[in-house]
Amino acid sequence: MFDLIVLGGGPGGYKAAENAAKAGLSVCLFEKRAVGGVCLNEGCIPSKALLYSAKLYDYAKGGAEKYGVTSENAILDYKAAVERKDKVVKTLVGGIEATLKSLKVTVIREEAAIEGKTSDGFKVGGQIGRNLIIATGSETIIPSIKNAETCLTNREILSLTEIPETLAVIGGGVIGLEMVSLFNSIGSKVTVYEALDKIGGPLDREISIMLQKIYEKKGVTFYLGAAVKDAAELGAEKTLLSVGRKASTKNIGLETLNVYLERGAVVTDAQMRTNVPNIYAVGDVNGKSMLAHTAYREADVAVNAILGKRDEMRYDAIPSVIYTNPEVASCGETLETAVEKGYKAVEKKISLKYSGRFVAENDGGDGICKLVVNNSDNRVMGIHILGNPASEIISAAAVAIERKMTVEQLKTVVFPHPSVGEIIAALL
């Protein structure tokens, strides 16, 4: 009998297990594959490891020349890069396993499902828990297009050890664009087919167009408004299917306790509670934001609810990053979404060339930083950046938006000089 059973060991699940164990609860965690989930094993981390090899290769094969550094006969040993990626994953998975062990979390490496309710709590995988957190994550959407089964998903593409000569990418969203960046750098001829009229999904339109132009210059071909109906027609050596992910809610016994679903995802409130008392759902399975860092925060909120601590999940200041080169990072509303929601919003923008640090490190390059402000109270509603290292700068934006700072308040914050991040201050 446990105080808490966690179903799924990805970022949402392992964070919840760690938090609960640290607070003194007895915890059992079920994971059918490896702890760390998709993010650590076949998503965020392995892709970043390979993208880093690709970035270094870009510099070695000529990108560093502008900075007075030349190297002859740059060679990419892709098998070695993949091996290193596997090592990075192994190290980090080992780290989580060690943490869970040290916190005395019982980890059961099995596929489990909700079996019912007893007088003591919920029966899951033969164990009883007073509380249950569902953290089963998400899975790749396989659309009903012809020959979809011949395509790679994020799982297989990260395990390729040979570089394909040609790569077709169905879906120019986050996964698609990161793989475009990787395979373009390492020598594949890449073509993107995107059903919408822009890449990057909810990305600010101007930034989306700028990013597309950058990759067109690097030799990538984009077809917009191109809903693929037959993957075989694309004629590429390899085809990646990256048309989105859906919550993993099948075969986990949710129907046994009548846990509500909406559009295939578990319905949760601001404390991550489902409609069944003492059952919570965190991470991709609730379909709210499908980002590892959202899952971490949702895990905090769910465990706090179990512990009786006041907490609340908010989704309006969650940063998102596309790890292309250059990176794109966004937080909060774009002008378009703010206006759609009825706000009197205004947008200010500035070229990253106004940052000394950016110019020093991005010879001939350009980027943009955009600020969306609510005109009625002067609060910061959104910040959007194209240019390296956008992923590191966006945290400042997240703080400003989460804390509902006004432009005047943000002006009093001192940004280090020289840093690319001080571009935000230049916009105020």
Q: Cβ closer to ligand NAD: 199 or 305?
A: 199
> CA 139 to CA 55: how far, in whole Å?
28
What amino acid occupies position 132? L
Q: How far is the CB of 229 from ligand NAD (least distance, A)?
A: 7
Stretch of 23-31, 125-133, 231-239, 320-328 contacting ligand NAD, by CB under 6 A: 320-328
384 among known catalytic residues: no
Q: Considering only residues 243-262, where is the footprint of ligand NAD by CB under 6 A?
A: 243-245
Angle, alpha carbons 189-194-195 (nearest 5°): 155
Helix H or strand E segment including 210: helix 205-217
Stretch of 2-10, 238-246, 307-315, 373-381 contacting ligand NAD, by CB under 6 A: 238-246
Q: Cβ closer to ligand NAD: 22 or 314?
A: 314
Q: How far is the CB of 401 from ligand NAD (least distance, A)?
A: 17
Q: Checking DSSP bridges between strand 368-374 and strand 345-351, what pairing results, if any? A: antiparallel
Stretch of 1-9, 92-100, 155-163, 225-233 contacting ligand NAD, by CB under 6 A: 225-233
> Residue 228, interface with ligand NAD (CB under 6 A)?
yes
Cis peptide bond N-terminal to 418, omega within 30: yes
Residues 187-216 vs ligand NAD: string with x where CB under 6 A? ------xxxx----x---------------
Q: Residues 417, 423, 425, 427: which is the catalytic one?
A: 417
- With b for 16 or more beta-carbon neighbours within 10 A and e for fewer, the 14-34 pattern comes to bbbbbbbbeeebbbbbbbeeb
Q: How far is the CB of 205 from ligand NAD (least distance, A)?
A: 13
What amino acid occupies position 331? C
> Residue 418, interface with ligand NAD (CB under 6 A)?
no
Cis peptide bond N-terminal to 389, omega within 30: yes
Residues in binding contact with ligand NAD, number by CB under 6 A: 29
Q: Considering only residues 73-112, where is the footprint of ligand NAD by CB under 6 A?
A: none
Helix (H) and strand (E) counts in the chain: 13, 20
Q: Which of 164, 172, 326, 387 binds ligand NAD (CB under 6 A)?
A: 172
Q: Cβ closer to ligand NAD: 38 or 423?
A: 38
The torsion of the CA quartet 180, 181, 183, 189, rounded to 10 degrees, works out to: 60
> Residue 63, interface with ligand NAD (CB under 6 A)?
no
- Token pair 């009229």 is at which residue? 197
Give Cβ neighbours of residue 194 (< 8 Å, ≥ 6 apart). 171, 172, 173, 176, 222, 223, 224, 225, 226
Q: Which residues bind ligand NAD (CB under 6 A)?
A: 43, 143, 145, 170-176, 178, 193-196, 201, 226-228, 242-245, 290-291, 320-323
Active-site residues, by number, are 417
